[in-house]
Amino acid sequence: MPWGPRTPQDLTQRALAVAEAAAAHRPDALIVGCNTASVHALPALRALLEPVLPVIGTVPAIKPAAAGGGPFTIWATPATTGSPYQRGLIEEFAGGVAVTEVPCWGLAEAVEHADDAAIDAAIAAAAALTPDDVTTVVLGCTHYELVAERIRAAVQKPGRPPLVLHGSAGAVAAQALRRLGESPAPGAPADGALTVLLSGREGSLPAAALAYEEGKQLGEVGPALVARPEQ
């Protein structure tokens, strides 16, 4: 869920609690599918769970964006924007490239609730902070990948080359497979089951998730349950 406005201490405590609840189900790996949680809590999570349980974090795709050479922006939650971790990635991988950090106030929360009006307003506000000459936008929050094309439409300028968007999903999935010593099977059907934990207790996929194609795919994996309010 959106953790961007929380303090680093609160983020770490919540991430540890969530991870322990997930670890109780004996997974093969734990993916922290949140840039903000990874930025602030990944060392604590790995100290708690590894080497027994591999922990794969999610970080902004700054390295591939910088490799493109053009000026780019990093759209991220307020907690990730300006964080020492993100600044360190910029210094390490984007030397000599113009980088603008854009805090996207309210965007993750709007995506979480599938609130179209709020999504459009948050995207418009972030687009207004994005320089006109950028060639690339790093989607520094996994929520943003669900509305990537809406972001593209808001930032793309007439007469400019097609905007490049860099998310993290593909790289995170590949890293998880590497940690598990497995290889992807192109075209192979996905199987398995879905367990949803809400406040550490088994629940159902929130109804808002079904507003997105990715959520619909998840909904087809596990048993159809009636969504209940978050606790």
pLDDT tens digits for range 77-112: 888 888 888 899 999 999 889 999 999 999 999 999
Domain with 139, as residue range(s), is: 62-167
Query: Is 12 among the domain residues?
Result: no
> 53 and 30 in contact (C-beta within 8 Å)?
yes
Domain final residue, candidates 131, 152, 167: 167
> 108 and 33 in contact (C-beta within 8 Å)?
no
Structure tokens at 150: 């809406």
Do both 160 and 198 map to the same domain? no
Do both 107 and 154 map to the same domain? yes
Q: How confident is the model at residue 187 (pLDDT cuts 50, 70, 90)?
A: low
Do both 113 and 206 map to the same domain? no
Catalytic residues: 34, 141
How many domains does the chain fold into? 2
Do both 156 and 194 map to the same domain? no
Do both 214 and 154 map to the same domain? no
Query: Is 8 among the domain residues?
Result: no
What predicted TM-score, i.e. pTM, was given to this entire model?
Answer: 0.83
